[in-house]
Structure 1
Amino acid sequence: MVGTIVELDVREDLQKKIEPFEKIMNAIKPLQSGDMFILHAPFKPIPLFPIMKAKGFTYEAEQIEKKHWKVTFIKQG
């Protein structure tokens, strides 16, 4: 059973030079075990991976277009 799914697209923020880190952290704060966070970014957000891992998330990154990465994070129990 999949819990809550939160989806966030930060491509526009990054285009406007707005750092989306705080927005991402606020989005994942309420997530529980089994919940999913889907991030859309213009590049593979490698610096985010160890942070999310430390917060108990596994992830899968997939490149959809040249400047569109979809990363699915799943909160572990």
Structure 2
Amino acid sequence: MSNEQTNSPLHGVTLEQIVTSLQEHYGWDGLAQRINVNCFKNEQSIKSSLKFLRKTQWARDKVESLYEATF
């Protein structure tokens, strides 16, 4: 394992944990204000957000950056 990976604040944290933590912290509306994606505005569920974020790298990057900045 590289040092970069083990030193990452996201090491060992799943995407589901990230989305759940952010949703609990900001709420769906707060997330939608910070990251302009429909899964935070319309279909507001962890499941639909995970489905979108797993196939949309730019959005996932933004979510991970917000998580790092928040926690």
Provide TM-score, normalisation by structure 2. Answer: 0.28
Identify, as 1 or 2, the structure richer in helix: 2
Provide TM-score, normalisation by structure 1. Answer: 0.26
